């Protein structure tokens, strides 16, 4: 996974007013924490951060005030519920070689067996433990030919080298549901007979 470099500055103003001023300047307030160190309050570039967050579990190399460089991954992202712009981000400090628990998206490939069955994503993302600098962007699962009642368990998913499950092996990730055929209601059929008589 490639690193995204961002320039950040420490901030000393807090509260809603300060956050609004930061966002007005097309920047995003954030907090960097982890490794037992005191949380570091930051101002991050809005557009560059938005682009970086398009990649799940992106590894961010922060240049803080031109003095220190830190590696971090996004832990919590708050967006405006209507307009979708970034309001705040929490970043987790990581080190090369360190293992972290993250969730990676599950992508499916192939077609289900004929019959109009439905594929349910029980888990949209798979909890895994991976090295902070080698977090996979996603995992792919083949659902080719699966029939109603079939399920894919966490242990059935092939993970890249160095990545392990952070969920029970028997946890259901995907399941195939039988298509629901609509049957004519008995009340409607009886009503028609009465009308004819």
Among 109, 96, 103, smallest CA distance to 171 is for 103
Q: What would the mean pLDDT of 101-111 be, rounded to a whole number? A: 89
Residue 20 lies in a domain: yes
Kindly tell me if the per-residue pLDDT of 197 is higher than 50.
Answer: no
Q: How many residues does the chain have?
A: 197
Task: State what percent of residues in the chain have pLDDT above 70.
Answer: 90
107 and 88, same structural domain? no
| pLDDT at res. 185 | 52
- 191, pLDDT greater than 60: no
Per-residue pLDDT averaged across 147-162, rounded?
90
Tell me the per-residue pLDDT of 41-61, one tens digit each, with 9 for 90 and over.
Answer: 888 888 888 888 888 788 888
Residue the block writes with tokens 């993302």: 125
What CATH code is carried by the domain that includes residue 161? 2.170.120.20
Q: Specify whether 104 is located in the same domain as 142.
A: yes
pLDDT at 172: 93
- What single string gives the DSSP state of each residue in the chain? --EEEEEEEE----SHHHHHHHHHTTEEEEEEEETTEEEEEEEEEHHHHHHHTTSTT-EEEEEETTTEEEEEEEEEEEE-TTT--EEEEEEEEE-TT-EEEEEEEEEEES-PPSS--EEEES-SEEEEEEETT---S-EEEE-TT--TT-EEEGGGS---TT-EESS-TT-EEEEEEPP-PPPPPHHHHHHHHHHH-
Residue 36 has pLDDT above 80, yes or no: no
**Counted domains in the chain:** 2
Q: pLDDT at position 186, please?
A: 53
Q: What is the mean pLDDT of residues 35-42?
A: 82
Q: What's the CATH number where 75 sits? A: 2.40.240.10
The whole-number average pLDDT for the span 6-34 is: 80
Among residues 40, 74, 94, which one ends one of the domains? Answer: 94
Q: Can you give the pLDDT at residue 154?
A: 92
The tokens for 100 are 């972290």
Going by pLDDT thresholds of 50, 70 and 90, the confidence category of residue 174 is: very high
pTM beyond 0.95: the answer is no
Same domain assignment for residues 60 and 114: no
- What is the domain range of residue 152? 100-177
Q: In which order are the strands placed within the sheet that holds 125-131?
A: 139-142, 99-109, 125-131, 164-165
Same domain, yes or no: 82 and 153: no
């Amino acid at each position: 996974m490639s690193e995204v470099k961002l320039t950040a500055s420490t901030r000393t103003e807090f509260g809603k007013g300060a956050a609004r001023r930061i966002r007005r300047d097309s920047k995003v307030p954030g907090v960097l924490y982890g490794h037992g160190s005191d949380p570091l309050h930051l101002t991050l570039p809005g557009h560059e951060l938005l682009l970086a967050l398009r990649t799940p579990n992106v590894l961010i190399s922060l240049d803080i005030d031109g003095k220190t460089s830190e590696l971090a991954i996004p832990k919590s992202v708050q967006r405006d519920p209507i307009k979708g712009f970034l309001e705040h981000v929490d970043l987790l400090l990581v080190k090369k070689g360190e293992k972290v628990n993250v969730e990676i998206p599950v992508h499916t490939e192939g077609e289900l067996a004929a019959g109009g069955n439905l594929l349910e994503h029980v888990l949209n993302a798979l909890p895994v433990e991976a090295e902070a600098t080698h977090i996979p962007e996603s995992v792919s699962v083949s659902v080719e030919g699966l029939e109603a009642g079939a399920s894919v368990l966490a242990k059935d998913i092939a993970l890249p080298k160095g990545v392990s499950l952070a969920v029970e092996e028997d946890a259901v990730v995907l399941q195939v549901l039988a298509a629901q055929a609509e049957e004519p209601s008995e009340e409607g059929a009886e009503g028609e007979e009465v009308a004819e008589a």
